[in-house]
Amino acid sequence: MPRTPWIVGVSGASGTPYAAAVLRALLEAGESVDLVVSRASRLTLLDETGISFRDAHWQADLREWLSRGADGKPDTFSVDIDAVRHWSAGDLAAGPSSGSYPTKGMLIVPASTASVAGVALGLSKDLLQRAASVTLKEGRKLIVAVRETPLNGQTLRHLVTLDDAGATVVPASPAFYAGATHIQDLVDFVAGRVLDAAGVPHRLYRRWQGELGGGAHRDG
């Protein structure tokens, strides 16, 4: 069978733990991944985790990143990254830059307002934006996990443009009904909703069953 990956684009918005949770869940589900880490996101990753993501050492850096929990604790997860292929954000000749390159779709997690604007306007200034534009023109799934607050009118109009073009906008807004007791639970809820939009099975959060109080934690 030909390799048909999900493209995961990581932009410069705060929220690198969301990207890590999505990547781990995709790999656990047996999916192949093409990873594009923007230049801006590398600064965010360094600030949020202390990890430098380098093209020449991307495998070691990715393993270290995905092994950490949302609280920054190392060696929280064990992850096999053999199904990941990395493309440099500046490589506009990369596979995902062409519609003839087969993919299942693309997830932008987290999505900054700059990346939202670039995709909505069709700027294609880097591989992340170009791959998203290709995903839309080919009629494939594009899920945009926007992470910003407050949202101004310009960004809201860009998000409507993406919705009109067929993308699914998933705000990085964690819910509390699933009984979160740890920061990882809140991160996993957002990651799970992104994967729900993509149609990828996962076990990241407890789903609503129609019973009030199911997520409550009581002492004694």
Mean pLDDT by runs of 10 across the 220 residues of the chain is 95 98 98 98 97 97 98 96 98 98 98 98 97 98 97 98 98 92 97 98 92 62
Q: What is the pLDDT of residue 216?
A: 62
**Cβ count near 122 (within 10 Å):** 14
**Of the candidates 18, 2, 1, the residue with the CA atom closest to the CA atom of residue 143:** 18
- The whole-angstrom separation of Cα 78 and Cα 102 is 29
Q: What is the pLDDT of residue 211?
A: 81
Radius of gyration of the chain (CA): 17
Q: What is the pLDDT of residue 219?
A: 45
Three-state SS letters, the chain: CCCCCEEEEECCCCCHHHHHHHHHHHHHCCCCEEEEECHHHHHHHHHHHCCCCCHHHHHHHHHHHHHCCCCCCCCCCCCCCCCEEEEECCCCCCHHHCCCCCCCEEEEEEECHHHHHHHHHCCCCCHHHHHHHHHHHCCCEEEEEECCCCCCHHHHHHHHHHHHCCCEECCCCCCCCCCCCCHHHHHHHHHHHHHHHHCCCCCCCCCCCCCCCCCCCCCC
Q: What is the pLDDT of residue 127?
A: 98
- The whole-angstrom separation of Cα 74 and Cα 64 is 8
Q: What is the pLDDT of residue 215?
A: 66
Q: What is the pLDDT of residue 220?
A: 35
Amino acid at 143: I
